[in-house]
A = this chain, B = another copy of it.
Amino acid sequence: MNAKESGRRKFLKGGVALAGLAVGGLRVASGQSSGAEAAASPHKDSRTYGERSRFDTAERQPTGAAPYGDTALVTPIQALTGIITPAGLHFVMDHLAGVPDIDPQQHRLMIHGMVDRPLIFTVEELKRLPSVSRIHFLECNANSRPLQGPKAESVQQVHGKTSCSEWTGVLLSLLLQEASVQAGASWLVSEGAEGNKYTKSLPLAKAMEDVLVAYGQNGEPVRPEQGFPLRLLVPGWEANYSTKWLRRIKIVDQPYMTQHESTHNANLHPDGKAHWFRFEMGVKSVITRPCGGQKLPSPGFYEITGLAWSGGGTVRKVEVSTDGGRTWKNAELQQPVHRKAHTRFRLPWTWDGNETILQSRCTDDQGEMQPTIAELAKIWEVSTDYFLGSGVDHFNAIQPWKVNRDGSVHNALFS
């Protein structure tokens, strides 16, 4: 840690050191390929880049419940093991503009606005800077809406807008210190390089806390659908803050109420007022096995397993009830538990063949505990019917799964 800190100080002491970075970065001699090489050589075969078994049929699914005409692809969280989401199965929210095909050698990131030293980086220049890798989830604010139409039995359809990766990149705070943010600045606006130039306002305090400019995802370059070659990564917050195909960060003194913010992510409450600028995703958990749509073949031993996470910090406890909420047991948490990351929980269970309800509830290190739907309705001052609306976001109530005597498992949220 000291080496890192002193390295940063040294790096920053240079002040205009970045200006000395030659465009192009590390060059690669012939005979050795690199993730940043520009040549568009097609991948030769599955030996050079391996593929899945043809029997592994877990797939992202489209969902008809994407907001405002966007399309969404949801992660098959019922098929995941551990805490890493394979990049090919990471959920996608497509804000109408499709996935741009960006040549990383042509791509630039500009930092400007209320700064003393506006900066422009190539991707290779960013890769020369002090980097960090951190495991974080990304979750869409629309995840877990109670009813997604006829597919509501599917944990993938209801809860599949969350994924978790090992992200690698440069701390945005380092870049902003280098750019020297001016007094009075309080927000930034990030912009993507896709067709309709997605933009989003972010408070400067969060930018200085733990935000990354990420170029790596699960060991390789960020995937195109997640923002290749650069993505802003805003841990714990609505995924729409984590601007993909990041090309510009403007330091400003107010939120900008950009088109995407005002049309996509402002939702009405019963009193007709809109909620702007909701940030952190709540404390949540969901049992992914057994789950709605599955069937237990017989009574006997099962491991109950699922994922828990909290935008507010670190998962401290996941309790599981196998008797309709009368008693709760602490599940085992996969170690180490990462901050603002999916956390795998596991509990052994012997099914006696009787009807029952399985549910999990998460508590984070801030002491926040996942509510029941009735408790959530009380907090929001709405009736539970309100949650059937298509504009409901940040829904984090406990998900009950009912096991019938025939072993079939069903969504029991409204039962």
Contact = CB atoms under 8 A, between A and B. Distances in A.
A163 B322 CA distance: 39
A44 interface: yes
A47 interface: yes
A401 interface: no
A219 B62 CA distance: 20
A3 interface: yes
Interface string A21-63: 1101111110111110111111110011111111111111110
Interface string A214-229: 0110111101110011
Interface string A144-158: 000000010110100
Contacts of A104: 53, 55
A154 B59 contact: no
Contacts of A228: 53, 55-56
A297 B25 contact: yes
Given A6-B348, A26-B294, A38-B55, 15 more contacts: A20-B301, A22-B298, A29-B153, A31-B293, A34-B78, A34-B79, A35-B57, A35-B76, A48-B73, A49-B52, A50-B89, A56-B228, A81-B220, A85-B219, A131-B346
A101 interface: yes
A31 B130 contact: no
Contacts of A186: none
A329 interface: yes
Given A219-B81, A219-B82, A49 B41 contact: no
SS of A interface (majority):
loop
Contact of A57 (B41, B130, B302, B330): B41
Contacts of A89: 49-50, 219-220
Given A31-B154, A32-B154, A294-B29, A10 B101 contact: no
Contacts of A267: none
B297 A221 contact: no
Interface residues of A, number: 122
A331 B49 contact: no
B35 A79 contact: yes
A313 B156 CA distance: 38
29 contacts: A6-B348, A8-B348, A20-B301, A21-B298, A27-B295, A32-B156, A33-B61, A41-B57, A47-B62, A48-B61, A49-B89, A50-B87, A50-B92, A51-B88, A53-B102, A53-B228, A53-B229, A55-B229, A81-B168, A81-B215, A81-B220, A83-B133, A83-B219, A86-B87, A86-B219, A89-B219, A130-B303, A133-B344, A218-B218
A376 interface: no
Contact of A218 (B54, B82, B338): B82
A381 interface: no
A335 to B, nearest CB: 9
A411 to B, nearest CB: 12
Interface in A107-125: none
Interface in A283-327: 289-290, 293-298, 300-303, 305
